[in-house]
Amino acid sequence: MTVRKNQAALTADEKRRFINALLELKRSGRYDTFVTTHNAFIMSDTDNGDRVGHRSPSFLPWHRRFLIEFEQALQSVDATVALPYWDWTADRTSRSSLWAPDFLGGTGRARDGQVLDGAFARSGNRWTITVRVDGRDYLRRDLGAGGRQLPTRAEVDSVLAMETYDTAPWNSSSDGFRNHLEGWRGVNLHNRVHVWVGGQMGTGVSPNDPVFWMHHAFIDKLWADWQARHPRSPYLPAAGTANVVDLRDTMRPWNDVTPADMLDHTPHYTFDTAA
């Protein structure tokens, strides 16, 4: 059974196995297919048109399914690997062990943002950025640029307290839990973390940085935490909504999975803490 752990609690061996599985997916070309898929949805999900992966109620079930698929790919390389999550309310500085050379490596250098240490540094020749929106083929970061701050636990709790899953018009202007978690409105959780990391994480090809998966694994955990706090609050909308994935509509690109299928994460994995 897959248990997703806080990245801060991983052993040296667990970190090494996770890194090696990432590098093998990258080497075989499978990794970049995930980057391509994400960017295609980023560019096509619009507030007034069809929207599936982002700025819509299905942001959470879509990413849950996307992460399950990615985690299964990792496990096809090493069956012991599970996706760790990054609780950025707790590990909130560039000095966190997350950014050490034995894990994800640190921030980029000032001149060009290039990450110079860790397994994903360009110099190691194992992490060339091939699915990209500009000419640079090396991983970049600018952790906490301009004095930006990651969200606090109190800010997270203020969003978890919201009872309604999502509201019309079901996009980036919505009130409710989903859009506040996604960050287009209010204290801004998910979006702000992408911006805090900087580099490719701030772009449409954000899965080029392996921290993408650990960020989204925590967003996913916050959805589970919210469900535990609001057991009577359903996924919305229920049915008949133009351009939006209702509870029992299938989601692209899989076309065989609905938000209803994704509401319970426990058939797929559990967390190291009670959700």
| Binding-site ranges for other proteins (CB under 8 A) | 36-37, 39-40, 42-44, 46-50, 55, 112-113, 132-136, 169, 171-173, 183-184, 190-192, 194-195, 202-206, 243
CB of 158 vs other proteins, minimal distance in Å: 20
Q: Which is nearer to other proteins, 96 or 174 (CB)?
A: 174
Q: Which is nearer to other proteins, 94 or 203 (CB)?
A: 203
Q: Determine the residue type at 137.
A: D
Q: Which is nearer to other proteins, 76 or 188 (CB)?
A: 188
Q: What does DSSP say about strands 3-4 and 270-271: parallel, antiparallel, or unpaired? A: parallel
CB of 139 vs other proteins, minimal distance in Å: 14
Q: How far apart are CA 90 and CA 244, in angstroms?
A: 34
CB of 195 vs other proteins, minimal distance in Å: 5
Q: Which is nearer to other proteins, 44 or 152 (CB)?
A: 44
CB of 159 vs other proteins, minimal distance in Å: 16
Q: Is the CB of residue 185 less than 8 Å from the CB of residue 175? A: yes
* Long-range Cβ contact pairs of 18-24 (< 8 A, separation 24 or more): 18/74, 18/81, 18/84, 19/103, 19/119, 20/77, 20/78, 21/74, 21/75, 21/77, 21/78, 21/81, 22/74, 22/119, 22/210, 23/119, 23/126, 23/127, 24/77
The DSSP secondary structure of 165-227, one letter per residue, reads: S--TT-STT--SHHHHHHTSSTT--HHHHHHHH-GGGGSTTGGGSTHHHHHHHHHHHHHHHHH
CB of 67 vs other proteins, minimal distance in Å: 18
CB of 216 vs other proteins, minimal distance in Å: 13
Q: Which is nearer to other proteins, 62 or 271 (CB)?
A: 62
Residue with tokens 């701030």: 202
Q: Which is nearer to other proteins, 127 or 269 (CB)?
A: 127
